[in-house]
Amino acid sequence: QMRPVVETLRRLYEETSRILGAPNAVTNRRREIDDNSRRLGSLFAKLNSEDISPNAATKLVQLCQALDKGDFSGALHIQ
């Protein structure tokens, strides 16, 4: 059930990292990329160990579905 969430978040991370200039990013951008990587790694670990509430999991699925459709306005309203 959470595989599409991981795939969407991984894709978005790779896209934004490329935009920020990875792997040759300047120091400030490199820190931002590394911070994003750490945060996603923590989230992926929680998803893998099922250490996330059902409500949060549902919201993540909805958020990623909206992002996959390009519905950024809808994604902003998911809370």
Q: Tell me: the pLDDT tens digits for 3-56?
A: 999 999 999 999 988 888 777 777 778 888 889 999 999 999 999 999 999 999
Domain residue spans in the chain?
3-76
- List Cα–Cα distances, 47 to 10, 42, 50, 58, 68, in angstroms: 13, 9, 5, 12, 19
Question: Is the pLDDT at 76 greater than 80, yes or no?
Answer: yes
Confidence band for 72, pLDDT divided at 50, 70 and 90: very high
Instruction: Write down the pLDDT at residue 31.
Output: 85
- pTM of the entire predicted model: 0.83
